[in-house]
Amino acid sequence: MSSIEIDRVSKAYDGPLVVDSLSLSVPSGTVFGLLGPSGCGKTTTLRMIAGLLRPDSGDIRFDGVSVLAVPPERRAIGMVFQQHLLFPHMNVEQNVSFGLRMQGVRPAASRSRVDEALDLVRLGGMQRRYPAQLSGGQQQRVALARAVVTNPGVLLLDEPLSNLDTRLREQMRALIRSVQRRLGITTIVVTHDQGEAMELSDQMAVMFDGSIAQVGRPVELYARPDSARIARFLGATNLIPARVVDTTAADLLRIDTPFGSLDVCPGNSAPTTGTPRVVASIRCEHVAIVDRHMDGPTDSGVSVRDGARNIFAGVIDDVVVGAGRITYTIDVRGTRITAVEVSDAERTRGSTVQVRLPCDRVRLLPFDPGLAGA
Partner 1 sequence: MGAREATIVIGTGSRGRGFDSTSRGVRVALWIVFAVFSFPFVPLVVASFAFRWHWPSVVPTEWLWTARDASTVPVGWAYLFSRVSQLGPAFANTAFIGVAVAFLAVALALPAARVIARYEFRGKSFFEFASLMPVIVPQISIGIGTLLLFLRLGLVRTHVGVILAHLVPTLPYALRIMTAVFQNLDHGYEEVAQTLGAGRVQRFVRVVLPLVLPGVATAGLFAFLISSNVFLLTFLVSGGRIPTLPTMLFSHIESGAPLDATTAGLVVIVSLPGIAFLLLTDRLTGQRLSLASLGSPVQPAVGGRA
Binding site for partner 1 (CB under 8 A): 50-52, 71-79, 81, 83, 85, 87-89, 98-99, 102-103, 146-147, 150, 156
Distance (Å, whole) CA 307 – CA 294: 10
User: CB of residue 149 vs partner 1: minimum separation in angstroms?
Assistant: 9
Q: Rounded distance, CA 189 to CA 158, Å? A: 6
Q: How far is the CB of 80 from partner 1 (least distance, A)?
A: 9
Identify which of 236, 154, 228, 235 has the alpha carbon closest to the alpha carbon of residue 199.
235
Q: Min. distance of Cβ 51 from partner 1 in angstroms?
A: 8
- Asked if 228 and 240 touch (Cβ cutoff 8 Å), the reply is no
Residue nearer to partner 1 on the CB measure, 74 or 122: 74
> Which CB atom, from 73 or from 165, has the smaller least distance to partner 1?
73
What are residue 355's phi and psi, to 5 degrees?
-115, 130
* CA nearest neighbour of 244 among 128, 146, 130, 364: 364
Q: Closer to partner 1 at the Cβ: 81 or 367? A: 81
Closer Cβ to partner 1, 48 or 337, answer by number: 48
**Min dist. Cβ of residue 76 to partner 1 (A):** 8
The least CB distance from residue 99 to partner 1, in Å, is 4
Cβ proximity to partner 1: between 85 and 252 the closer is 85
Least distance in angstroms from the C-beta of 88 to partner 1: 7
The region that residue 122 occupies, defined by phi over 0 for left and psi between -120 and 50 for alpha, beta otherwise, is: left
Question: What's the alpha-carbon Rg for the chain, to the nearest Å?
Answer: 25
269 secondary structure, DSSP code: B
108: Cα separation from own chain's centroid:
41
Residues 327, 339 contacting (CB under 8 angstroms): yes
Residue with Cβ nearer partner 1 (114 or 357) = 114
DSSP string, 11-30: EESSSSEEEEEEEEEE-TT-
Nearer to partner 1, 153 or 358 (CB): 153
In the chain, the N- to C-terminal Cα span, in Å, equals 45
What's the min distance (Å) between Cβ of 59 and partner 1?
A: 20
